[in-house]
Structure 1
Amino acid sequence: MVKVKSGDRLFIGKSIEYFIDTTNELMIQEVMDKPFVKSTTDILNLGHVASHVWTRFNVVSENEREVFLEINAPLIQQLEIFEVKENKVLNLFKGGAGISFGQRPIHSENWLIDIKLDPGEKTALYIKGQSYYPYQIPIVISSKNKFVEDSKRHYLFWGIYMGVMLFAFIYNFFIYLSIKERSYLYYLIYIVSSMAFYLGLSGFGFWLFWSDSPIFNPMVPIFVSITNCVIILFTFDFLQIDKKQKGLYYTGCIFFVIFVILAIMNLLKMYEIALNLSQLMSLLICFYFITAGFISLKNGVATAKYYVLAWTLFLIMVVVFILTLNNVLPTTFFTTHGIFIGHMTEVALLSFALADKINKLKKENELSQLRVIESLREKEKMQLELNQELEGKVKERTFELEKTITNLKEAQNQLVQAEKMASLGQLTAGIAHEIQNPLNFVNNFADINRELLEDLKNVVKTGNHEEIDDIISNLTDNENKVLHHGGRASSIVKGMLQHSRTRGNNKEKINLNTLCDEYGKLAFAGFKGNDNSLEMNFMTEFDPNVKEIMIYPQDIGRTILNFLNNAFYAATIRYSAEKERGVSNPEKPIVKLSTHMENDRIFISVMDNGQGVPNEIKDKIFQPFFTTKPTGKGTGLGLSLSYDIIHAHGGEILVDSKEGMGTTFTISIPFAQNEKQ
Structure 2
Amino acid sequence: MKILYHLLKLPALFLLFTGSTGSYAQQHWPPAYQLTADTARVVRLPDSNWQMLADPGGKLTINTVNDPVNTTRFHLNNTSEKGFSFDINTYWQRYQLRSTLPKDTRIAIPEGTTDATVYYSVNNGPWTAMRTGAIVPYSQRDGLKEMSAVIVPVPAGSTVRIYEQNHFNYAFSQSNRLVAMFRFADQVIADTYIDNAGRESVLMTESFLMGIVLFAVVLNLFFFYSIRERVYLFYGILLLAGGLRIYNGLFMPAYRENPVFTHYWFIFLFVIQFFSFIQTNRHFVKLGSFYPRWDKFLFTLSFFPVILYLVANLVLPQVKPGWITPGNTLYGLVSFIVMICMAVTLALFIPRKDTNSRQYVISVLPLTFWILAGHIISVFPRWPFSLWAAKWNQVLNALCIGWLLLIFTWALILRFSKLRQENAQKEIEKERLAREKEQERNELIARQKIELEQQVQERTAALKESLVSLQTTQSQLIQSEKMASLGELTAGIAHEIQNPLNFVNNFSEVSIELLDELQEEAETGNKDEVIAIAHDLKQNLDKINHHGKRADSIVKGMLQHSRSAGGQKELVNVNALAEEYFRLSYHGIRSKNKTFNARLETDLDEAAPKIEVSPQDLGRVFLNLFNNAFYSVGKKKDGDANYDAVVKVTTSATGKHLEIRVYDNGLGIPDAIKDKIMQPFFTTKPTGEGTGLGLSLSYDIIVKGHGGQLTLNTVEGEFAEWVVWLPVRH
Scaled by the length of structure 1, what TM-score is found?
Answer: 0.55
User: 1:243-299 CA deviation, whole Å, 9 max, x = no partner?
Assistant: 965656666666644542443368769652253x65234311222244445556778
SS of equivalent residue, structure 1 residue 80: strand
Residue 287 (structure 1) aligns with: 336
State yes or no: 1:17 paired with 2:73: no
Q: In 1, Cα distance between the equivalents of 2:341 and 2:639?
A: 70
Structure 2's unaligned 5+ residue stretches are: 1-33, 55-64, 350-355, 488-553
Instruction: State how 1:18-417 maps to structure 2 within 5 Å.
Output: 18-19=47-48, 21-23=51-53, 25=65, 51-53=91-93, 69-73=107-111, 75-80=113-118, 94-97=130-133, 101-102=139-140, 104-105=142-143, 107-113=145-151, 128=164, 130=166, 132=168, 133=173, 134=175, 135=177, 139-141=182-184, 142=187, 145-154=190-199, 157=202, 226=268, 256-264=306-314, 271-275=321-325, 278-292=327-341, 367-368=422-423, 370-381=425-436, 383-384=438-439
Check conservation: 2:681, 2:692, Cα contact below 8 A.
Answer: yes
Instruction: State how 1:239-638 maps to structure 2 within 5 Å.
Output: 256-264=306-314, 271-275=321-325, 278-292=327-341, 367-368=422-423, 370-381=425-436, 383-384=438-439, 498=561, 501-508=564-571, 515=574, 518-522=576-580, 525=583, 530=590, 534=597, 550-570=612-632, 572-579=633-640, 610=667, 612=669, 628=685, 638=694
Check conservation: 2:132, 2:140, Cα contact below 8 A.
Answer: no
Check conservation: 2:120, 2:162, Cα contact below 8 A.
Answer: yes
Tell me the amino acid that sits aligned with residue 667 of structure 2.
Answer: G
Residue 41 (structure 1) aligns with: none
Check conservation: 2:712, 2:720, Cα contact below 8 A.
Answer: yes
Q: In 2, Cα distance between the equivalents of 1:381 and 1:289?
A: 51
Check conservation: 1:538, 1:591, Cα contact below 8 A.
Answer: yes
| C-alpha spacing 1:388/1:159, structure 2 compared with 1 (3 Å) | closer
The CA deviation at 1:4 is 8.2
User: 1:143-166 CA deviation, whole Å, 9 max, x = no partner?
Assistant: 765444444435664676688679
Check conservation: 2:108, 2:149, Cα contact below 8 A.
Answer: yes
Instruction: State percent identity of aligned pairs.
Output: 12
Q: In 2, Cα distance between the equivalents of 1:415 and 1:537?
A: 47
Tell me the amino acid that sits aligned with residue 626 of structure 2.
Answer: L
The CA deviation at 1:350 is 8.6
Structure 1's unaligned 5+ residue stretches are: 38-43, 437-490
| Cα RMSD for the two superposed structures | 7.3
Q: Greater CA deviation, 425-434 or 96-105? A: 425-434
The CA deviation at 1:21 is 2.3
The CA deviation at 1:342 is 8.1
Tell me the amino acid that sits aligned with residue 95 of structure 1.
Answer: R
SS of equivalent residue, structure 1 residue 264: helix
| C-alpha spacing 1:527/1:648, structure 2 compared with 1 (3 Å) | closer
Q: In 2, Cα distance between the equivalents of 1:388 and 1:353?
A: 50
Higher relative contact order (CA 8 A, sep 6+): 1
Q: Greater CA deviation, 622-631 or 560-569? A: 622-631
SS of equivalent residue, structure 1 residue 579: coil
Check conservation: 1:219, 1:267, Cα contact below 8 A.
Answer: no
Q: In 1, Cα distance between the equivalents of 2:406 and 2:657?
A: 66
Q: In 1, Cα distance between the equivalents of 2:559 and 2:370?
A: 92
Tell me the amino acid that sits aligned with residue 374 of structure 1.
Answer: E
Check conservation: 1:54, 1:128, Cα contact below 8 A.
Answer: yes
Check conservation: 1:17, 1:55, Cα contact below 8 A.
Answer: no
Q: In 1, Cα distance between the equivalents of 2:690 and 2:81?
A: 96
Tell me the amino acid that sits aligned with residue 576 of structure 1.
Answer: K
Check conservation: 1:594, 1:606, Cα contact below 8 A.
Answer: no
User: 1:475-523 CA deviation, whole Å, 9 max, x = no partner?
Assistant: xxxxxxxxxxxxxxxx9x9999846523123444x7xxx73x5555445
User: How many pairs were matched up?
Assistant: 567
| C-alpha spacing 1:45/1:634, structure 2 compared with 1 (3 Å) | closer
Scaled by the length of structure 2, what TM-score is found?
Answer: 0.52
Tell me the amino acid that sits aligned with residue 640 of structure 2.
Answer: K
Q: In 2, Cα distance between the equivalents of 1:524 and 1:593?
A: 11
Q: Greater CA deviation, 255-264 or 652-661? A: 652-661
Q: In 1, Cα distance between the equivalents of 2:723 and 2:485?
A: 28
Q: In 2, Cα distance between the equivalents of 1:45 and 1:162?
A: 45
SS of equivalent residue, structure 1 residue 273: coil
SS of equivalent residue, structure 1 residue 374: helix
Q: In 2, Cα distance between the equivalents of 1:360 and 1:549?
A: 87
Check conservation: 2:136, 2:259, Cα contact below 8 A.
Answer: no
| C-alpha spacing 1:358/1:297, structure 2 compared with 1 (3 Å) | farther
